[in-house]
Amino acid sequence: MNTRNISLLILSLILSVQLYGQTQEIRLFSHRGGRMEHDENTLQAFQASYDAGYYGFETDIRMTRDGELVVTHDSSLDRTTNGSGTVESHTRAEIEQLRTKQGNKVLFLDELLDFLQDKSGLYVEFEMKTNPAELYPEERIAAYCDKLYKMVMAKRPADADYIFTSSDYRALRYMQSHYPDAELLLITGEPCNDQTIALCKTVGIKRLGATMNGTSRASVQAAHEAGLIVSLWPGQSIEDFMLGAYLGCDYMCTDIPIQLKDWISEHAPWIKVIY
């Protein structure tokens, strides 16, 4: 960790808080259950983050060949499991025989929803992984979104904020047209800027998930003035968190939830963070 950079960011944040009246509040959530600390997107990862005091999570959902929804980021099974090929070419029964590289069970959406169902104060992002496009043609997008929405909402705790996110506007568009009550977030690999703000306004989505690289405090303020909620990524380090806080984001993911929570408690307790 670069102590000088951390100190400069802390100083900037202190000055910002003094100037802007200490009104900022950040919702911090565990990205894939904390992928740099735990076996990503497994029940063990989500349990560890929850045990550490997190009620905010992000996860990724794909569809098997027989239409089951599985919690995994990649289409390929090779990086995270002892299997090979794509999630989309396997059945649930086949994937249930696999284990992650760390020996854990591959998690399915129904199992994750059962884990979350009795918990209060949740914020959960369900990222709709409907790429590559050739594996998710329009008719499969429809089946995927229908099943995802109905499963998630059937087991959503009354006070939970469940958000459907994607970088694939096809899935977001389907949700908009068929489930207008769904809370949506548009993910982009671009910064929060005039173009991404305009895109959100054009497609009628009020949550923007943008990269910190190239984002400015002024652009986040402009997004807020346009009525948008800003979530920033990545969250791979303490420096990332401090930068996101300085930029003024509303939400931020973290790959190091336990390390970061401990650090904030010890070094930056004045930052108002909801976990």
Q: DSSP per residue over 56-113, as a string?
A: EEEEEEEE-TTS-EEE-S-SBSTTTBS--SBGGGS-HHHHHT-BBTTSPBPPBHHHHH
Q: Which domains does the chain have, with CATH numbers?
A: 3-74+109-274 (3.20.20.190)
Catalytic residue among 31, 38, 178, 267: 31
H helices present in 164-254, as ranges? 169-178, 194-203, 217-225, 238-247
Q: Give Rg (Cα) of the chain.
A: 19
Query: Smallest Cα–Cα separation from 217: which of 247, 252, 250?
Result: 247
Per-residue pLDDT in tens (0 to 9) along the chain, 275 residues: 566 556 655 655 554 554 454 567 999 999 999 999 999 999 999 999 999 999 999 999 999 999 999 999 999 999 999 999 999 999 999 999 999 999 999 999 999 999 999 999 999 999 999 999 999 999 999 999 999 999 999 999 999 999 999 999 999 999 999 999 999 999 999 999 999 999 999 999 999 999 999 999 999 999 999 999 999 999 999 999 999 999 999 999 999 999 999 999 998 888 899 99
73 is catalytic: yes
Per the annotation, the verdict on 31 as an active-site residue is yes
C-alpha 234/C-alpha 211 separation (Å) is 7
- pTM for the full predicted model: 0.93
Annotated catalytic residue, options 73, 90, 178, 267:
73
d(CA 156, CA 122) in angstroms, rounded, equals 9
Query: How far apart are the C-alpha atoms of 225 and 231, rounded to whole Å?
Result: 15
CB 64 within 8 A of CB 98: no
